[in-house]
Chains A and B, each alone.
Chain A
Amino acid sequence: MIVLNEVRRATYLDSIVLMRLSRQVAALPGVVEAGLFIGTPANKEILRAAGILGREGEGADAGDLILALKAGDAAAAASALAQARRLIDRPEMAGAPAPPGALRTIRAAVEAMPDANLALISVPGHFAADEARKAMALGLHVMIFSDNVPLADEAALKCAGLAQNLMVMGPDCGTAIIAGVPLAFANVVPRGDIGIIGASGTGIQEVSCLIARAGRGISHAIGTGGRDLNPEIGAIATLMAIDALDADASTQHIVLISKPPADAIVRLVLERVGRSAKSFTVCFLGAADVAAPANARIAHTLKAAAASALGEPPPGPLPRAQGRQRRGWVRGLFGGGTFCAEAQLMFLDAGLAVASNVPVPGAVAVADGGHLMIDLGDDIYTRGRPHPMIDPAVRDAPLAEALADPAVAVVLIDVVLGLGAHPDPAGHLAGVLAGRKDCTRVVASVTGTDADPQRRADQVRKLAAAGVTVAESNADAAATAIAALAGSAERLASRP
C-alpha cells in the first residue's frame, strides 16, 4: 500500500466541492482511500484516522488544501494524484484563483448589498465564529450552518447577539425559514401563521412539511442550533426567538422543538412561554410530562407537534407490542438524527428494548441482535463522507446488509427532500431495491412537499412503485414497524 500526500498552499475549495472530488479520486483504479480536505486540525485528524495523512499533509495549515490517497501500488497512486491535480485545476473549480470580480469578504459583500440583514455562514467550523463576529460587527443577523464550533464561541456570540438585538441561529443550524424564504436545508412551504423554533433541523423540516400538507403555512422557522438549550448557553437564541415571534404580527401559534433540556432550562423556557400572549406547542422529544403553562400544549412526537399546532386532536397511544417478537428485528437507517431519536422513543414507549449508535435515555449502545436504530448522520459515519441527506449512496451498504439479514423483519428509512438535499433520493433507493421481492419490509417516511424541487408526490410514487411502504411521517413509520411486530395479520401496504 502506498500513501501519497500533496499540499496546495493557500488554496481553498468549499467542502461540498471537495467531497465530490474525493469520491471521484477514491473511485480511480487502484485507489483504496482518498480525501481532499482543507488543512484544519479537525480535518487532519480525519485523514490521520483514515490512515492517509503523511508527513506532507501533517505540515499543512488551515489555509492549505491536502490531497491524500492510499493506493495498491506506486503507479496507481501517482496516476491518481495526477488525475486529482487535473480535477482541481479545472477552470470551473472556482476556488482560488476566483474570478477577479468575486467578493472575497463580508465587508465587500456588504458594500455590494448595503441593506443585507442576514449572513448565512457555512465555512469550516474552525473559522465560523470569526466570520460570525465580523458579520455581527456589520449589523447582520447570523445563521451559522457550520458545526464543530467551540461551545465557548457559541456562548460569546449569543451574548453579543443579546446585547445587539441580533439573532444568532446555530451553530449547527441546518434549517431556517424566514419570511417565506427557505434557508440551507429547508423545504418550500406556504406562508401561514404558525411559527417554529427548533434546535433540530430535521425536526423543523418534518413539522413544517406536515403543516404544509395539511393546507396551513409557516410564518417563520427559526433554528437555534443543537446546543442552545445546554446550560452553558442558557437558551439565549430560543428566548430571543420567542420574543421575536411574539412581536411578529404574522405569527399566531408557536411550535417549540428540541430534545429534552435540563430541568432548569425547561423551567426558564416554559416561564417565558407562559408570559406570551400567543399559544404554544412544546415538543421536548421524549421528555416525561412537563408542567405546561396555560397557553401551551405538550407534544411527544413531531407528528403530534404538528397536529397540536393545527388544532387537531393528539394522535392516539401506540399499541404496545404483545407477546414475544414473532416477526424479527427492526433496523432503522436514518439520515436525520432527530428521526433516529424519535423512533427510539416510540419503541421505548411501546415497551420494546432498542439500541442505537446515538442512544436516547433508556436505549442501549449498539450490540448484537435486537432492534437497532442507526443515525447515519453521526460523526462516526460522516467523517470524510458526505452526509446521507446529500448523498443517499452512504446508506446503500447498510441497507443491503440489513435486507440480507434474515433476522431483520423491517427496515425504517427517512427520505428527506427540499433545498440542499439530493435531487432524487427515491429514485436512488428504487434503484438499490430493484429486483428485490421483499421491499415491503422497507418502511419509509418522506419529509417534503409538492413544492420542493423533488416533488413529494413523485418521490412517494417512485417508492410505492418499488414496493416500499410509505408512511405519512417518521412517527407513523415507527408506529407501522411496531404494529408489524405486534403480529398484525395485515400485510404492510403502501399508503399514499
Chain B
Amino acid sequence: MDAHDRNIANTLLAAPPRVINIGLELFATDIAQQGAAVVHVQWVPPAGGNAHLAGLLDKLRS
C-alpha cells in the first residue's frame, strides 16, 4: 500500500472520530451520548446570508 492509502485509515479510522458538528444540534447530542468527542457549532449563515459580503470574505480569508 502506498502512503496515500495509509493516510485516511490513520487519520479517520484508527480511533473514534473527534467531531465538529455544524447544523442540526440533535446530531451533536446523540454523538455525545454515545461517548464520543463532539463540539457543536451554533451555525448561522456567514455574513448573515449576504452573498456579496460572503464572497468578499472568501477572497480576504487566509
Contact = CB atoms under 8 A, between A and B. Distances in A.
Tell me, yes or no, whether A and B come into direct contact in the complex with CB atoms closer than 8 A. Answer: yes
Contacts of A62: 45, 49, 51
Contacts of B8: 141, 165-167, 240, 243-244, 247
Interface of A: 9-10, 12, 14-16, 38-39, 61-64, 94-96, 98-99, 102-106, 108-110, 112-113, 115-124, 127, 130-131, 135, 140-141, 145-146, 165-167, 178-184, 188, 219-220, 240, 243-248, 250, 419-420
Nearest to A219: B13
A182 B26 CA distance: 13
A117 B18 contact: yes
A117 B22 contact: no
A94 B42 contact: yes
Contacts of B15: 179
Contacts of A117: 11-12, 17-18
Contacts of A98: 42, 44
A220 B8 CA distance: 12
Interface in B1-59: 1, 4-9, 11-27, 30-31, 34, 36-37, 39-51, 54, 58
B19 A120 contact: yes
B12 A246 contact: no
Contacts of A167: 8, 12
Please indicate which of the listed interface residues B15, B24, B39 has the most CB atoms of chain A within 10 Å of its own CB.
Answer: B24
B28 to A, nearest CB: 8
Contacts of B22: 106, 109, 119-123, 131, 135
Contact of B25 (A10, A12, A14, A178): A14
Nearest to A13: B44
Contacts of A124: 45
Of all A-B residue pairs in the complex, the 9 with the closest CB atoms, nearest first, are A63-B49, A122-B23, A62-B49, A63-B48, A247-B9, A102-B42, A165-B7, A244-B8, A12-B44
Interface of B: 1, 4-9, 11-27, 30-31, 34, 36-37, 39-51, 54, 58
Nearest to A112: B39
Given A63-B45, A103-B42, A123 B23 contact: yes
Contacts of A119: 19-22
A61 B12 contact: no
A109 B43 CA distance: 11
A61 B49 contact: yes
B41 A109 contact: yes
Given A104-B42, A117-B12, A122-B22, A243 B34 contact: no
A140 B21 CA distance: 12
Contacts of A39: 49
Contacts of A108: 41
Contacts of B17: 117-118, 141, 178-179, 181, 183
24 contacts: A14-B25, A14-B43, A16-B25, A63-B45, A94-B25, A95-B44, A105-B41, A109-B41, A112-B39, A115-B18, A117-B17, A118-B17, A119-B20, A120-B22, A122-B22, A123-B23, A130-B54, A141-B12, A178-B13, A219-B13, A247-B6, A248-B13, A420-B26, A420-B27
Contact of B13 (A105, A109, A179): A179
Nearest to A101: B42
A61 B50 contact: yes
Nearest to B29: A419
Contacts of A145: 23-24, 27
A135 B39 CA distance: 14
B16 A178 contact: yes
B16 A15 contact: no
Given A10-B48, A113-B18, 18 more contacts: A12-B45, A61-B51, A95-B42, A104-B42, A108-B41, A113-B20, A116-B18, A117-B11, A118-B19, A120-B19, A122-B23, A130-B54, A141-B8, A181-B36, A183-B17, A220-B13, A244-B5, A419-B34
B12 A135 contact: no
A245 B8 CA distance: 9
B10 to A, nearest CB: 8
A423 B56 CA distance: 44
B5 A113 contact: no
